[in-house]
Amino acid sequence: MSKSLQRVMDALTAAQMGTIALEMPSETRTAEQAAEVASCEIDQIAKSIIFAGSVSGDLFLFITAGGNQVDADRASALAGEPLTRAHPGVVRDTTGFAIGSIAPIGHVNPIKSFFDVDLQRFGILYAAAGTPRHIFAIGPDDLLKISESQPAEFKA
């Protein structure tokens, strides 16, 4: 098992979630790919989008419904500073995940996180589990809690 997948599984176990990572038959790097292989609606995919603060350099995680886009102005207002695209190397060093496999939990360093309220309309969500072929199923309230996110409106 990869270190990335193990961190996600450890976070789920520590939170006493009875879910496991599902190895999919094809890649789940995009919300579209994940929804197709999970046989669910695209908005049931909880995708992790990372931005960097242009002043602080801190990273910010936006967990959003798969079909939604993050509005830069709304996201910047939530972060309290203008946001820019995060450098892939910084994302990997800070979260422990490569872009395309960023899980909403199990980061190697704490990261401020915001949770798309649109995700709360579903009974079950699917999120990246740290590899390009693993996802996990979880209820939205559970994901909100264990990701230590703040519910917010930030979609475009």
Residue 61: give its domain's CATH number.
3.90.960.10
The residue type of 115 is F
pTM metric for this prediction: 0.95
End-to-end CA distance of the chain: 37
Domain count of the chain?
1
Per-residue pLDDT for 1 more than 80?
no
12-71 pLDDT, tens digit each? 999 998 888 888 888 899 999 999 999 999 999 999 999 999 999 999 999 999 999 999
What is the distance between the alpha carbons of residues 37 and 35, in angstroms, rounded to a whole number? 6
Structural domain containing residue 51:
3-152
> Which range is least confidently modeled, 2-11, 16-25, 110-119?
16-25
Cβ-based neighbours of 43, under 8 Å, separated by 6 or more: 65, 66, 67, 68, 118, 119, 122
